[in-house]
Amino acid sequence: MERETGTFRVKSGLAEMLKGGVIMDVTNAEQAKIAEDAGAVAVMALERVPADIRREGGVARMADANKIEEIMRAVSIPVMAKVRIGHFVEAQILQALGVDYIDESEVLTPADEEYHIDKWAFTVPFVCGARDLGEALRRIAEGAAMIRTKGEAGTGNVVEAVRHQRTMLRQIAWLQGLRPEQFVAAAKELGAPVELCRMVAEQGRLPVVNFAAGGIATPADAALMMQLGVDGIFVGSGIFKSENPAARARAIVEATTHYNDPDVLAKVSHGLGEPMPGIDIKELGEEALLQTRGW
C-alpha cells in the first residue's frame, strides 16, 4: 500500500492523460485563464512566446518564479514550464516550485552545448523536442517521458513540424522492416540505444507520447498533425499572437478532437480573425533556426 512517486509510469502517465489535447503557451495568469476556458489540457508558462524571443533576441531563460506561481494559482489544469537545454538547476527550481511538467526546450538559449539534463534524477516529468527518431530515443534514454516534434517555433509555419513527424514515421517503418541482425547497425546509424530501437520496431510507435510543436497556427494545422499520427498539439505563439486568441484557442481544441471530421473542421475554421503573421523558413537563414539546438 506504499505510495511510489516519480516512477516512469507515473511520469509518462500524465502525458497519456494529455493525449488528444492542446497545450498552450501563456505568459501571464490572464492568458492562462483564456487557455483553460478554451479547453486547453495544460499551459506552458514562459516569459515571452517564441515569436517574441525570435524578434527580440538576447538570452532566453526560464521564466521568473513569480510569473510561474501566478499562472499555477490561476488554473486547475497542469502547468508546464521551459528550461534551457542542459540547465539542470533551472529544472531543480521548477521541480521545487511544483511545476507539473518541464520542457527542456531549444526555444530557450542552450546552457550546455554538449549534454542534455539527466532527467532520471527528477520526480517531475520532462518533455523534449526531436527532429527525428534518433533524437527522440536519445532524449527518452536520458529519461524524457514525453516527446514533441521541434518544428520551427515562433514562425507560424507548420512545414518543419510536418518534416519532423514524417521523418519519425519513415524511420519507425524502416525499423519495423529490419531483420534481427540489422538492429545494432540501425542503432548506430540512428545514434540511439538498441533496446529502444527494438521496442519501437515491436510497437510500431515511440515508447512515449509524441505531440506536435513548432509552427502550428490554425485549426487545420492542428488537424493535419493529428492525421499524421501525433498524439496531441502544442501551440506556442499561434494563439496569443493572433487577432482573436479565445476564439482561435477554442477552434484549435475542437479541431484536435475532431481531426478526422472535415465537416467539424470547416465549421470551426470560420470567423477566427487574422492568424499570427508567418515566416518562410527559407528566409530565416541557418543561424536563426531554433531546431538545430540540442543533438
Give the nearest distance from C-beta 160 to other proteins in angstroms: 26
* Secondary structure element (H or E) that encloses residue 251, with its range: helix 245-257
**Nine-digit cell string for 182:** 540489422
Q: How far is the CB of 183 from other proteins (least distance, A)?
A: 26
Shortest Cβ 6–other proteins spacing (Å): 7
Which region, judged by CB under 8 A, interacts with other proteins, from 1-9, 111-119, 210-218, 222-230?
Answer: 1-9
Cβ count within 10 A of residue 183: 16
End-to-end CA distance of the chain: 41
The three cell numbers locating residue 202: 515491436
- Single out the residue of 18, 162, 10, 144 nearest to residue 78, CA to CA: 18
Cα–Cα distance, 293 to 295 (Å, whole number): 7
Q: What is the dihedral of CA 88, 132, 17, 7, to 10 degrees?
A: -50
Q: By CB under 8 A, is residue 13 in contact with other proteins? A: yes
Backbone angles phi, psi at 49, to 5 degrees: -70, 155
Q: Which of residues 70-89 bind other proteins (CB under 8 A)?
A: 76-78
CB-wise, 22 or 224, nearer to other proteins? 22
149 SS3 class: strand
3-state class of 205 per DSSP? coil
Which of 41/107 has CB closer to other proteins?
41
Considering the rule CB under 8 A, would residue 2 count as an interface residue with other proteins?
yes
Q: Does 6 bind other proteins (CB under 8 A)?
A: yes
65: closest CA among 106, 96, 24, 30? 96
- Residues 280, 157: contact at Cβ < 8 Å? yes
Residues near 26 by beta carbon (within 8 Å), at least 6 away in sequence: 32, 34, 35, 43, 44, 45, 46, 71, 240
| 82 catalytic residue (yes or no) | yes
227 binds other proteins (CB under 8 A): no
Q: Which is nearer to other proteins, 6 or 278 (CB)?
A: 6
164: enclosing H helix or E strand: helix 159-176
- The nearest distance, CB 272 to other proteins, in angstroms, is 16
Candidates 15-23, 45-53, 85-93, 216-224 — which segment interacts with other proteins by CB under 8 A?
15-23
Q: Note whether 135 binds other proteins by CB under 8 A.
A: no
Q: Which of 67, 82, 150, 241 is catalytic?
A: 82
Does 127 sit near other proteins (CB under 8 A)?
Answer: no
Interface segment toward other proteins; rule CB under 8 A; list 8-16, 59-67, 150-158, 216-224: 8-16
254 touches other proteins by CB under 8 A: yes
Asked if 7 is part of the footprint of other proteins (rule: CB under 8 A), the reply reads yes
Distance in Å, CB of 116 to other proteins, minimum:
21
Residues at the site binding other proteins, with contacts judged by CB under 8 A: 1-7, 9-10, 13-14, 16-21, 36, 38-42, 76-78, 95, 98-101, 123-125, 253-254, 257-258, 261
Catalytic residue positions, numbered: 82
